[in-house]
């Protein structure tokens, strides 16, 4: 009987510590980056400020004649004070131009670069 009570007490203590660990776990910066890696256009925030940021970045991309059509079609997703840029471009130079537009248009946002160079 004592061993049964002891087993139940140990299981309860372990379960309680697991619950506390999950509640106390604070997200680290790497976890935030991993969350942003999975962003899709469906994750776009509908907050007016975020929509305005997307609009401004998209306008900058469309007005830049140095970018190819493929580069102008890079996905721009703004949510949780971050800007995720996703999609293929033709050259590393195009990737750098897009990143420059994002950094200058949304300087207070974290920029997540998921742009790939393909031919």
- Domain span at residue 7 reads 1-28
* Contacting residues for 60 by C-beta, under 8 A, at least 6 apart: 101, 104, 105
Examine the domain organization and report whether 16 and 44 are in the same domain: no
Q: How many structural domains comprise the chain?
A: 2
Can you give the CATH number for the domain in which 85 is found?
3.30.70
pLDDT attached to residue 66: 95
- Ramachandran bin of 88, using left for φ above 0, alpha for ψ from -120 to 50, beta for the remaining angles: beta
pLDDT attached to residue 35: 45
Residue 33 lies in a domain: no
Examine the domain organization and report whether 45 and 78 are in the same domain: yes
Higher pLDDT, 106 or 25: 106
Examine the domain organization and report whether 64 and 11 are in the same domain: no
DSSP-derived letter for residue 28 is P
What is the three-class DSSP state of 2?
Answer: helix
pLDDT in tens, 35-71: 455 767 777 878 999 999 999 999 999 999 999 999 9
- 31 pLDDT above the threshold of 50: no
Percent of the chain past pLDDT 70, that is, above it, reads 67
Examine the domain organization and report whether 58 and 23 are in the same domain: no
Examine the domain organization and report whether 24 and 43 are in the same domain: no
Across residues 93-117, what is the average pLDDT? Answer: 95
Gap between the Cα atoms of 71 and 73, Å rounded: 5
pTM of full prediction above 0.85: no
Residue 34 lies in a domain: no
**45, 80 contact by CB (below 8 A):** yes
Higher pLDDT, 10 or 19: 10
Residue 104 lies in a domain: yes
């Amino acid at each position: 009987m004592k061993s049964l009570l002891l087993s139940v007490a140990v299981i309860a203590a372990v379960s309680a510590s697991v619950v506390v660990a999950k509640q106390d776990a604070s997200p680290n910066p790497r976890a935030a980056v991993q969350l942003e890696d999975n962003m899709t256009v469906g994750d776009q925030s509908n907050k007016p400020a975020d929509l305005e940021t997307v609009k401004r970045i998209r306008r900058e991309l469309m007005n830049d004649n140095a970018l190819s059509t493929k580069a102008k079609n890079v996905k721009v997703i703004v949510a949780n004070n971050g800007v995720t840029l996703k999609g293929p471009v033709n050259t590393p130079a195009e990737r750098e131009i897009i990143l420059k537009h994002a950094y200058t248009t949304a300087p207070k946002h974290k920029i997540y670069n998921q742009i790939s160079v393909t031919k």
